[in-house]
Amino acid sequence: MKLIDEAIEILSDASQPLANAFFKAQVIAHRLQNDDFAKWVKSEIQGYGDNDELPKYRISNLTPYGNLENGARYYKNFKLPVGDMPEDMVEKFLVYRHNQSIAVIEEFSKKADDLAVNIDHRLYPYLRQGIDKSYAISSAWGKPPAGFFEQILNEARSRLLDFLLNLEHVIPEKAAGADPKIMPKVEGLSEMFKGAVFGDGANISLAIGEGNQASHNQSTVGVNDLPALIRELRRNKVAEADVAELQVAINDDDLNAESDSNNFGPGVRTWLAGMISKAGTPAWEIPAQVGAGVLTSALTKFFGM
């Protein structure tokens, strides 16, 4: 459908403000009449309330820093230990909920080094393990991990994209020519949404409309579960030669220093780009946008991203 295609196009362009895609998603959520999806989209646009459930990608541990002095010497931006702090206090004071709107998070990502959360002075005695007793903590603050705001943006973009690609896959093509203000009822949409946004990925079994034939897009790929990944690829008509090439790419990336836990390795990225270019051709007879969603979703689950 056109509206979903437009949102997917925005999400596929990293230069576009992520908020723009969520505004499109707000219209989609309204037309789908799904409360769970609508609430998440609205929260990402306007910010989350203090009592709202936050997706895991918006919660981080703070690393405490402080200024130390003893009258003769002064240490600035000293990383403070937390070994003496009980776990319940760490959870209460050093685990931070980033509930700001996605537009604010985008601004935070541009000046992350300047952002900090003040730490209550009553916690200072717990932050002195191994520090000379002559020094006092004059001020202390916490900072999220480096790159955390970019990670929030990447997760929100990836999860919304995954959800919309799967949604596009199960909405009948005939709906594209229908009234653009009406979307067919999707049974099981809430489960798909919760899996894509609040879980480890969508595990989908959907029925479109009432009395229509069910449309399924089930994925059971787990972290490092290569047999399940292979089954998923074969189920989506990926050729055996391409499956074998992916296995080689995964093995090669395991030995490649460029690979990291936050990205596909160079071999897998090359394989993925090649497969997407085949989609919609006799080499892989599946629509390009569907193919991109299927492969990205399966690989993301396999690598635990």
CB 183 within 8 A of CB 32: yes
Instruction: Please choose, from the candidates 246, 179, 197, 191, the residue with its C-alpha nearest in 3D space to the C-alpha of residue 216.
Output: 191
Measured between alpha carbons, how far is 3 from 259 in angstroms, rounded to an integer?
36
Predicted confidence pLDDT, tens digits, the chain (305 residues): 688 888 988 888 878 889 999 999 999 988 888 888 899 999 999 999 988 989 888 999 999 999 999 989 999 999 998 877 888 888 888 999 999 999 999 999 988 888 899 998 888 988 988 889 899 999 999 999 888 999 899 888 888 887 888 777 666 554 444 445 556 565 556 666 666 666 654 333 333 343 333 333 445 688 888 988 998 888 888 899 999 999 998 988 887 655 555 567 888 888 887 887 787 778 887 766 567 667 877 888 888 76
Q: Where are the domains of the chain?
A: 1-179, 221-305
